[in-house]
Amino acid sequence: MPEPARCHAVVPAAGSGSRLGAALPKQYLLLAGRSLLEWSVQALLDAPFIETVTVVVSPGDARAQALLGQRPRLRVLPVGGATRRDSVLAGVQAPGIHWQARDWVLVHDAARPALDAASLQRLHAELADDAVGGLLAVPVSDTVKRAATDAGPAPRVAGTLSRDGLWLAQTPQMFRHGVLLPALQRHPEVTDEAAAVEAEGLVPRLVRGERQNFKVTTADDLALMGAWLGRASAV
């Protein structure tokens, strides 16, 4: 009888966060007493079903190890690449990784520090018997407008899109190692793991997440996330 599938997490943290315009890469900015990276990693370490957490940083980046220290089940690898896909792939196939094809890999953004335990558990439970995997996501609730492509600095509406069936992708994105690895190897242009799996002709499953699990990208996002984490940590 085969052993149960194990769960491993990968956190790509090699980005510069240039869109935020901060002095440090955004994963190292402090919110409610912790860096975004610490919040994101701790949410994964708090899940007992996740056996290992691998943080992938840029070569020469010593900040993550200094912040996270030596923790059971955690390792920091300075093998990150130019894109998210490059960093995730480097983490998934790094020396010393001996994951089985049926094992699960959960990829979580370092800049999503408000991942809640209930969503993480729901993702794990709903995908347990799935052959492919899936991702946390939330349905689009706002009306969606398409801007005219030639509008210049003052865009105008070119049309209104139906939001039926539209979801906003979040992380973690959870896929079988044997599905994710070749998908990332063959599709370097993708911006997330689900897109790589879709490019293989497979159909990831959508698992309902929570809206506070948004990605910090702009200064407004940072302020909003700081307020959320401040309230959550005070409870």
pLDDT of residue 227: 95
CA distance 2 to 121: 23
Domain annotation covers residue 163? no
In a domain, 96, yes or no: yes
Q: Which is it for the CA torsion 138, 54, 52, 5, positive or negative?
A: positive
Residuewise pLDDT in 10s, the chain (235 residues): 567 899 999 999 997 666 666 678 999 999 999 999 999 999 999 999 999 999 999 999 999 999 999 999 999 999 999 999 999 999 999 887 889 999 999 999 999 999 999 999 999 999 999 999 999 999 999 999 998 887 678 889 999 999 999 999 999 999 999 999 999 999 999 999 999 999 999 999 999 999 999 999 999 999 999 999 998 877 6
CATH of the domain at 223: 3.90.550.10
**β-sheet with 74-77: strand ranges across:** 74-77, 50-56, 7-12, 104-107, 167-176, 133-139, 205-208
- pTM beyond 0.85: the answer is yes
149 in a structural domain: no
Residue 59 within a domain = yes
Q: Is residue 158 part of a domain?
A: no
Rounded to 5 degrees, what are φ and ψ at 119? -65, -40
Is residue 156 a part of any domain in this protein? no
Domain for residue 165, yes or no?
A: no
Domain count, the chain: 1
User: Does residue 102 lie in a domain region?
Assistant: yes
User: Which structural domain, as residue segments, surrounds residue 55?
Assistant: 7-134+170-234
Q: Which residues are 31's β-sheet partners?
A: 34
pLDDT of residue 221: 96
- Say what the pLDDT of residue 18 is: 62
Cα(16)–Cα(36) distance, integer angstroms? 13
Instruction: Report the pLDDT value the prediction gives residue 161, as an integer from 0 to 100.
Output: 93
pLDDT for position 166: 96
